[in-house]
Amino acid sequence: MQVLLLTQVLPYPPDSGPKVKTWNVLKYLAREHTVTLVSFVRGDQSADVAGLASLCAGGVHTVPIERGAIRDGVALMRSMVTGAPWMMVRDDRAEMRTLLSRLAADRQFDVVHADQLNMAQYAEHVARGSATRPRLVLDAHNALWLLYRRLATTMKPGPRRAMLERDWRLLKGYEGRIVRDFDGVLAVSEEDRAALGEAAGVERAMTVIPIAVDTDELPVVAREPAARQLTHIGTMYWPPNIDGMLWFIREIYPRIREGAPETGLDLIGARPPQELVGLNGQVPGLNVAGYVADVAPYLACCGVFIVPLRAGGGMRVKILEALSRGLPLVTTTLGCEGIAVKDGEHVLIADTPADFAAAVLRVLGDPALAQALARNGRRLIETTYDYRAACRPLETVYSGSKGA
Express each pLDDT in 251-273 by its tens digit.
999 999 999 999 999 999 999 99
Residue pair 298/305 in contact by the 8 Å Cβ criterion:
no
pLDDT, tens only, 104-150: 999 999 999 999 999 999 999 999 999 999 999 999 998 999 988 98
For position 153, what pLDDT does the model report?
Answer: 87
Mean pLDDT over residues 327-354, rounded?
96
Secondary structure of residue 1 in the 3-state scheme: coil
Q: How far apart are CA 231 and CA 307, in angstroms?
A: 9
For position 403, what pLDDT does the model report?
Answer: 46
Q: Could you give the count of Cα atoms lying within 13 Å of 90 in the half-sphere of its Cβ?
A: 16
Report the percentage of the chain scoring pLDDT > 70. 99
Look up the CATH architecture of domain 2-210+387-399.
3-Layer(aba) Sandwich (3.40)
For position 313, what pLDDT does the model report?
Answer: 66
Instruction: Check for a shared fold between 2-210+387-399 and 229-385.
Output: yes
Model confidence pTM above 0.95 = no
Using the predicted structure, report yes or no on whether residue 404 has a pLDDT greater than 60.
no
Secondary structure of residue 33 in the 3-state scheme: coil
Using the predicted structure, report yes or no on whether residue 402 has a pLDDT greater than 60.
no
Q: Per mean pLDDT, which range of 66-70, 82-86, 307-311, 393-397 is the poorest?
A: 66-70
Mean pLDDT over residues 3-17, rounded?
93
Mean pLDDT over residues 52-68, rounded?
94
Report the percentage of the chain scoring pLDDT > 90. 84
Name the band, by pLDDT with cuts 50, 70 and 90, for residue 314: low
Q: How far apart are CA 351 and CA 265, in angstroms?
A: 19
- Buried-exposed string 16-29: b where 16+ CB fall within 10 A, e elsewhere: bbbbbbbbbbbbbb
Q: What residue segments make up the domains of the chain, in order of their start? A: 2-210+387-399, 229-385
DSSP string, 143-199: -HHHHHHHHHHTSPSSHHHHHHHHHHHHHHHHHHHHHHHSSEEEESSHHHHHHHHHH
Bridge partners of residue 213, in order along the sequence: 386
Q: Per mean pLDDT, which range of 39-48, 157-166, 228-237, 273-282 is the poorest?
A: 157-166
Topology of domain 229-385 in CATH is Rossmann fold (3.40.50)
- In order of 33, 252, 255, 331, the CA distances from 230 in angstroms are 42, 12, 13, 12
Which residues, in sequence order, are CB contacts of 359 under 8 Å at separation 6+? 330, 348, 349, 350
Residue pair 330/363 in contact by the 8 Å Cβ criterion:
yes
Which residues, in sequence order, are CB contacts of 77 under 8 Å at separation 6+? none
